[in-house]
Amino acid sequence: MPQIIDGKEISTAIKEELKIEVGKLKEENIYICLAVIQVGNDPASSVYVGNKKKACAYIGIDSLSFELPEETTQEELLKLIRDLNEKKEVNGILVQLPLPKHIDEDEVIRAIDPKKDVDGFHPQSVGALCIGQHGFVSCTPAGIIQLLKRSGIEIAGKECVVIGRSNIVGKPMALLLLRENGTVTVAHSRTKDLKEVSKRADILVVAVGRPKMITKEYLKEGAVVIDVGIHRNENNKLCGDVDYDDVAPVCSAITPVPGGVGPMTIAMLMHNCVEAGKAQ
Ligand code: GUN
């Protein structure tokens, strides 16, 4: 059976390290504060935002919560972000996505001061990642690199295939694997013969958003499989983009859903908040 990459355990280890670091910073009178903005009350977003605030409290990061009504205008949201940009005591600003349809997400992301862009979504952060300069990195792909490294999986020289090309996961994932000296292919919905492409992978990262799409026919024997998807199946059970039971006997290591990639996103957000606090 494959190595199970335990995201819960690895994220807990990272949070423990950060808790110690935040404690030491407090002794130097450095306090870290994250502002969390949610517009509307999408239930999934409320759960994510709640988990982020809980993680802050656990690590010793202050969090400011802004729960704005669905009908908030773009101008009102931009004004709040500009005010938070100016506030010295706020180190990080997180606007939970998706935003209501009448608000232009790109403009909102661009309004966040890149020094406080702990989500790593600002074009300046993405550009810095692209050319190997310092900047915040999107939390889910950064978490996946930590999962690989802390599980003793070498990236340099490996064939890495990323299925999915979103701005939040697929694209930054490809750039990070490249930074780690992987040989990277990005596949997507228009890729011809996806099975042949994904069979090249020593490390396969799947972020397609379709439950259990990836079966053993997509895999080379011994591949490492990272599953970014999270869905509820017909029995209300959580599952990923990968058909775990089908794939597990063929691969060398795999992330479960839940308990794989998911917990890493918040751990890396906390990491980015601590970095923001130290840099400011
Ligand atoms: N919505 C889903 N994932 C994320 C995330 O990582 N950050 C933000 N801000 N919104 C999200």
Note whether residue 5 is domain-resident: no
Atom of ligand 1 nearest to the CA of 168: 6
Note whether residue 125 is domain-resident: no
Query: What are the structure tokens assigned to 250, written together?
Result: 């063929």
Domain match, 179 and 238 both: yes
pLDDT of the chain, 280 residues: tens digit per residue: 999 999 999 999 999 999 999 999 999 999 999 999 999 999 999 999 999 999 999 999 999 999 999 999 999 999 999 999 999 999 999 999 999 999 999 999 999 999 999 999 999 999 999 999 999 999 999 999 999 999 999 999 999 999 999 999 999 999 999 999 999 999 999 999 999 999 999 999 999 999 999 999 999 999 999 999 999 988 999 999 999 999 999 999 999 999 999 999 999 999 999 999 999 9
**For the chain, how many structural domains are there in total?**
2
At residue 236, the pLDDT reads 92
3-state SS, residue 132: coil
Domain match, 168 and 237 both: yes
Burial profile 113-140: b = 16 or more Cβ within 10 angstroms, e = fewer:
bbbbbbbbbbebbbebbeeeeebbbbbb
Note whether residue 121 is domain-resident: no
At residue 28, the pLDDT reads 96
At residue 233, the pLDDT reads 87
Cα gap 146→88, rounded to integer Å: 30
Q: Whose CA is nearest to atom 2 of ligand 1?
A: 97
Domain holding 215, by residue range, is 139-262
Strand bridging mode 183-187 / 159-163: parallel
Domain match, 148 and 258 both: yes
Note whether residue 37 is domain-resident: yes
Write out the catalytic residue numbers: 52, 96, 119
Threshold 0.75, pTM exceeds? yes
CA of 203 to the centre of ligand 1 (A): 24
Domain match, 258 and 148 both: yes
CA of 191 to the centre of ligand 1 (A): 26
Beta strands in 88-147 (DSSP E): 92-95
Domain match, 157 and 92 both: no
94 Cβ closer than 6 Å to some ligand 1 atom:
yes
| Residues contacting residue 235 through CB under 8 Å, at least 6 positions apart | none
Q: Whose CA is nearest to atom 9 of ligand 1?
A: 96
| CATH number, position 41 | 3.40.50.10860
CA of 85 to the centre of ligand 1 (A): 19
Domain match, 164 and 236 both: yes
At residue 234, the pLDDT reads 87
| CATH number, position 156 | 3.40.50.720
223 Cβ closer than 6 Å to some ligand 1 atom:
no
Beta strands in the chain (DSSP E): 3-4, 33-39, 62-68, 92-95, 159-163, 183-187, 203-206, 224-227, 231-232, 238-239, 253-254
Cα gap 20→30, rounded to integer Å: 13
Domain match, 172 and 73 both: no
Note whether residue 44 is domain-resident: yes
Note whether residue 160 is domain-resident: yes
Domain match, 164 and 209 both: yes
230 Cβ closer than 6 Å to some ligand 1 atom:
no
